[in-house]
Structure 1
C-alpha cells in the first residue's frame, strides 16, 4: 500500500476549506491502496516524510512567502531526507489574500533542490475560494494519490 503525506498549515477557515477538499480528493473511493496521512506543518517530521511515497503541501502566502510553519517543515526534513526522497512526487496548494507567486516560487525551489517531482500544477487561490478553486483542490488530492 502506498502512503500519501499531506503536510498543511491551516490557520484560517479558508486554508482549512482548501485542505478539506484536498483530503476528500485524496481519499475518494475510486483510489485504492493509498493510505493518506495528514500532519500539521509544525508537527511533521523527517520520519513522516521518509515513510511517504508522495507528498502534498498546503500553505498560506505570508508577506510574499510560504508560511513559517511550512518553511520549518522543509528546513527540518531537508538534510535527513535529501538523498532518500529523490523523485518524490509532490503537490502544492497555496492561499493568499492577494498574491501567491513568491510562496509558490519558494516551495518549488526547495522541492527542486531536493529532487522532488511535481505531480500536478500548484493550486493557487487568492481571496475567497470559488467553486473552481475547491474543485482544483479536490483534483490535486485525487491526482497525487492516484499517481502513487
Structure 2
C-alpha cells in the first residue's frame, strides 16, 4: 500500500476547512491502495517523510513566508530525506489574509531542493475559502493520492 503524508499547520478555521477538504479528497473511496497519514508540521519527522510515497503540504502565509512550523518540518527532514525522497510527488495549499506569493515561492524552492516533483498547481486562497476553493483543495488531495495509487 502506498502512503500519502499530509503535513499541515492549521491555525485558523479557514485552514481547517482547507485541510479537511484535502484530506477528504485524498481519502476518497474511488482511489484504492493509498493510506493517508496526517501530521501537524511541528510533530512530523524525517521518519514520517521517509515512509511516505508522496506529500501534501499546507501552510498559512505569515509575513510573506510559509509558517515557522512548516519551515521547522523542512529543517528536520532536509538532509535525512534529500536523496532518499527525490522524485516523489508533492502538492501545496496555502491560505493568507492578503497575499500568498512568498509562501508558495519558499515552499516550492525547498521542495525543488529536495528533488520533489510538483503534481498539481498550488491552491492559494486569500480570505475565507469559497466552495470552489474547497473543491480545488479536495481535487488537490485526490490528485496526489491518484498519482501514487497508479505507481508500481
TM-score normalised by the chain length of structure 2: 0.97
Within-5 A mapping of 1:26-41: 26-41=26-41
Pairwise CA distance, 1:15:
0.3
Equivalent position SS for 1:50: helix
Q: Deviations over 1:55-78 (max 9, x none)?
A: 000000000000000000001000
Equivalent position SS for 1:112: helix
In structure 1, C-alpha distance between the alignment counterparts of 2:14 and 2:131, rounded to whole Å: 13
Within-5 A mapping of 1:81-96: 81-96=81-96
Pairwise CA distance, 1:131:
1.0
Pairwise CA distance, 1:11:
1.0
In structure 1, C-alpha distance between the alignment counterparts of 2:129 and 2:51, rounded to whole Å: 32
Task: Provide structure 2 residue ranges, at least 5 long, that are not aligned to the other structure.
Answer: none
Q: Deviations over 1:79-107 (max 9, x none)?
A: 00011000010000000001000000000
1:77 pairs with 2:77: yes
In structure 1, C-alpha distance between the alignment counterparts of 2:104 and 2:94, rounded to whole Å: 7
Equivalent position SS for 2:102: helix
In structure 2, C-alpha distance between the alignment counterparts of 1:114 and 1:9, rounded to whole Å: 20
Aligned to 1:109: 109
In structure 2, C-alpha distance between the alignment counterparts of 1:129 and 1:56, rounded to whole Å: 18
Task: Provide structure 1 residue ranges, at least 5 long, that are not aligned to the other structure.
Answer: none
Within-5 A mapping of 1:1-148: 1-148=1-148
Q: Say how many residue pairs are matched.
A: 148
Equivalent position SS for 1:92: strand
Equivalent position SS for 2:76: helix
